[in-house]
Amino acid sequence: MLSAKVKFVEFKAGNCYTVKNFLSGIFPVFSHFKKDMKKSEIDFYQRLAHGIAMQFGTNCEVVVHDLESSDLDHSIVAIENGHISGRKVGDGPSHIVLQALHDSEHLEGDRLSYLTRTRDGKIMKSSTIYIRNEDGKPIGIFAINYDISLMSAAAQQINSFISTGPEESQPEPISMNVADLLDELIEQSARSIGKPVAMMTREDKIQFIRSLNDAGAFLITKSGPKVCEFLSISKYTLYSYLDEIKSSQQQS
């Protein structure tokens, strides 16, 4: 008889009146209906957690918290690879869970890709996704914590190995042939002057050639004509500048 009444009310009221509302009005015990996450919801997130853990391996901890549990001291309803943080099903809430409970009305979005640390010093890259009901209220948390401790230590070692002096901000290019090398040396000298050729003074051009000379650019065959073309100067002017540079070096 009860099921018939339920079907009748649900049919008549459609989306405006739910079975839950009907039962809560008749039987006070149903006012506590769905305080916890539904068993079907928990089952789905358990399977999702297991799938993610299997996909990413034993360094990936996945935790499901029930924020509507009647016993918040035991909010964890599912966990995979709990050895990472030392937690298990039935353990209590984390700081993020407490924050969600305290500020549930003001939580706007999920927290993605942030760093956390376990009590024994493991560094984890974490993401917290809020499970919300139809009203947008958080009723659960789906958390992914990936242990990056070893990778972080390896990254520090790698950075230490590949780091250079502070003056070397750009990787040194490796040329395929001498023609490319000359082009790179010309570009490098141009950057050191910081002006387009049309705005270079005589002193700028001398400094440009001095930079090329110090780099050994003029040891490359036919480098002179290419430099003359780039600076729009004659071969005679180039030799004049080189003589001036050599003279100043001898005097110093």
Cα(116)–Cα(114) distance, rounded to whole angstroms? 7
- Cβ burial 103-120 (10 Å sphere, 16+ → b, else e): eeeebeeebeeeebebee
Q: What is the pLDDT of residue 239?
A: 93
Q: What is the pLDDT of residue 8?
A: 34
Q: What is the 3-state secondary structure (H, E, C) of 162-203?
A: HCCCCCCCCCCCCCCCHHHHHHHHHHHHHHHHCCCHHHCCHH
Q: Kindly give the residue spans of alpha helices, DSSP state H, lying in the chain.
A: 2-13, 19-26, 39-56, 95-102, 149-162, 178-193, 202-214, 223-231, 235-251
Cα(143)–Cα(139) distance, rounded to whole angstroms? 13
Please, what sign has the CA dihedral across residues 183, 186, 192, 194? Answer: negative
Query: Residue for token digits 């009860």?
Result: 2
The domains of the chain, with CATH numbers, are 2-32 (no CATH), 39-153 (3.30.450.20), 178-251 (no CATH)
Cα(241)–Cα(218) distance, rounded to whole angstroms? 13
Rounded mean pLDDT for each run of 10 residues along the chain, 252 residues in total = 37 38 38 55 93 96 89 87 92 78 74 88 91 88 94 88 65 64 89 90 94 88 92 94 88 70
Task: Tell how far CA 34 is from the center of its chain.
Answer: 37
Q: Please, are residues 6 and 19 in contact by the beta-carbon 8 Å criterion?
A: yes
User: First vs last Cα of the chain: how many Å apart?
Assistant: 111
Q: What residues form DSSP beta bridges with 145?
A: 61, 126
Cα(45)–Cα(132) distance, rounded to whole angstroms? 13
For 216: left if phi > 0, alpha if psi spans -120 to 50, otherwise beta; the answer is left
